[in-house]
Every structure is written in C-alpha cells, then in structure tokens.
Amino acid sequence: MRILHVVHGLPFGGLENGIVSLTNRLPLAEFEQAVCCLDRRGEMADHVSEKARIFVMDRRRHDLALPFRLERLINRWRPDVVHCRNWNTWLDTVVSHSLAAGPHRLVWSFHGFADGDRFPWRRCLASRLLASCTHRLAAVCGHSAELFSAKTGIPLRRFEVLHNGVDTLRFAPPADRSASKAALGIPAEELLILTVASLTPVKDHCSLVEAISRLPPSKKFALRFLFLGEGPSRPQLERQIEALGLKQQILLPGNTDRVADYLAAADVFVLPSRLEGMSNAVLEAMASGLPVVARAVGGNPELVVDGETGFLCPPDDIANLSAAIGRLATDTDLRQRMGRAARRRVEEVFSIDAMMSAYASFYRRAAAGL
C-alpha cells in the first residue's frame, strides 16, 4: 500500500515528528510512503526514513498552479491513500485529488490551530465543503475533534481519534540524572526545569516567565529554566526576562536535536501553551520520567492526570502555574513519584507501538473504503 503524506513542510514540530515516526516505523513490507512538502523541506526531513521519498512543491503566495503540480505527482506516484494535515494543506489537496486519475482515497487530519482558535466563518463553510470531498477525517485527540466539529458544524462522528505515541526506548528515565546534567554542562545541584516549544504567542512563554518571577527568592535562585525552541516571540521574551532580572535563571538555547538528552537531565517539565492538540513534548517528557506542569487546554487533560502524573493549571491563572512549579521544586518525593506514574501511563496508553497499530488500521480501512 502506498501512502502520500501532504504537509506544509517538515520544520521542527509535533506534527512533523509524527510524520517521521510513521515513515520510520510503519512496516515496510506493507506500506510504501512518501512525503509531499507544499512549502519547503524543513529540518525534520533529515530524519525521515531513507526508504521514503520527499517531494517539495515550493508553494508561492496565491499559487494557483500548485494543485496541478500536486495532481501530476499523484498521477505519477499513484498512492492508495493521500493523507493531508491541517487546514493549510486541505484545499490544494482536495482540488488535486479531484483532478487526479486513479482510485486513491483522500484523508485529512486536524492537529490543532497554529495561531489560536480563531476560525473565520468563510473557513468554516469551506471546511464543510472540503469534508464532503474527503473520504475520512481524523484528529490527534478527542478535544481537537470536538473543537473542530463545534466550530465548523462537521459531525463529530466523522472524526476518528489517532493519538500520538512516543518512543519509550529513546525517551526513558536516565540511570543517573546528575550524569545527564554533567554531560550538558549543568551543575548537579541545580534543579532543571525544561520547556520544549516553539517561541510563538500561542505557547505563551511570557506567562511562564511571569510565573517564575513570582517564585520566592529562596526557590527561584536554586532553579535553572531552559526554554528549548525558536520563533518570533524571542525578542519579546528576552526583553521581559531582562526587565524582571531573570537572565541567570532563564536560558533560551534555541532549537536542538538533543531533546532526549535535555529531558534526561531535567527534573520537571512545563508547557505553558494556551492551546494544544496532542502534545508530543508532553509525551516525551512523561516517557522520560518527568512530572509535567501544563495548562488544562486541548489534549493536555487526556495526557496528564492532575495530581498523579503532574499538575494541570487553569489557562489564565499565573499564580496557580507558579504554585505548581514551586511545589514540585521543593518536594523531591513528589517529583519522583509523579515521574514514575507519568512513565507508566505512557507505557500503558501512549507507546509508539500503539500509535503505529492505530495508523496501520486506519490506512487499511481507508484504502478499502470502509
């Protein structure tokens, strides 16, 4: 069976990480895969299986010829299933699908809104029209399916939930966190609190900086915060960090391909996002044996069991966010207990094997028209 994944590109990100997992882990004996990047290739393309081809369309603004280029690719490569993701690929792929020859099936999945949940009525209407031309719909968590259904009027029953999964071998609790810290040049006595997210407004690092500033000095200056990621919010964050006198406590190293190493060195993971789908960053942190502090938005409540594997905070409650960080920072037993529970939950519910099994079944049914 041939699967063509259509994405805007393969930069660093959760959706893109899922594409890498699929190309590397779906059984080669059954699935031949290719990735079509409508915009640009992106850094994550280097991690795609060498068995999977990558096509780049170089989409331009108001690129009316793009559907025809994509149609030619579909006719040439002849996939059984074309799987496009998120709204910025849907229209062009539907048009290409309608023009292309062959019996391929079209599926679309919703992974979350990139810049908040604003969705103009014209896009809602277009989504209903596009859904009528799409054989199967999916979402990465129940909340995402419910949200998109509520905004667009597409019946919820049309969505199948395909949870993300995490590689529990690559992301695992280290034998010695002190040694992992030493390997990154972090003093063993520092408590490392890690965030992995693009520096964009929806990830709301500014609220996290404010929460850190509210920690009592006795706690704050014994902690080291690392914000891994890059994006347009960096200048604003740097100004805020300097204004609050937190340059020694908060570091912004940028993007890295050593996320697993940083998670092995960390003691607590925080995700301050105001909007999430199914967070790969949270899954990787849980698999690494870390307690998670996150806002109770999107798919986070489907991952984090409040009070058991971490803490879920109300979206606009900075005081609650600060208190949760402070509690974990001062209670070693609580950190370790929650970290062990987080690891167990990933092993039982969100393993990469469970993800591959779900996607393989989804593609088989889609190709068969079931």
Residues 6+ apart with CB under 8 A from 331: none
Structure tokens at 9: 């590109």
Structure tokens at 140: 């990465």
Spans of the chain below 70 pLDDT: 114-117, 219-221
Structure tokens at 157: 């029953």
Residue 201 DSSP class: G
Q: What is the pLDDT of residue 84?
A: 98
Q: What is the pLDDT of residue 298?
A: 87
Which domains, from first to last, does the chain contain?
A: 2-165+352-368 (3.40.50.2000), 177-349 (3.40.50.2000)
Residue with tokens 């690129």: 63
CA 78 from chain center: how many Å?
29
Q: What is the pLDDT of residue 114?
A: 62
Q: What is the pLDDT of residue 189?
A: 87
Separation CA 342–CA 294 (nearest Å): 13
Q: What are all long-range contacts of 14-17, with beta carbons under 8 Å and residues at least 24 apart?
A: 14/111, 14/164, 14/277, 14/278, 14/279, 14/280, 14/281, 15/85, 15/86, 15/111, 16/42, 16/44, 17/44, 17/280
Q: What is the pLDDT of residue 219?
A: 65
Cα 181–Cα 184–Cα 186 angle in degrees, nearest 5: 55
Q: What is the DSSP string of 338-361?
A: HHHHHHHHHHHH-BHHHHHHHHHH
CA 312 from chain center: how many Å?
18
Q: Do 271 and 301 contact (CB within 8 A), yes or no?
A: no
Instruction: Of 231, 227, 226, 235, give the one whose Cα is nearest residue 199.
Output: 231
Cα 144–Cα 325–Cα 188 angle in degrees, nearest 5: 120
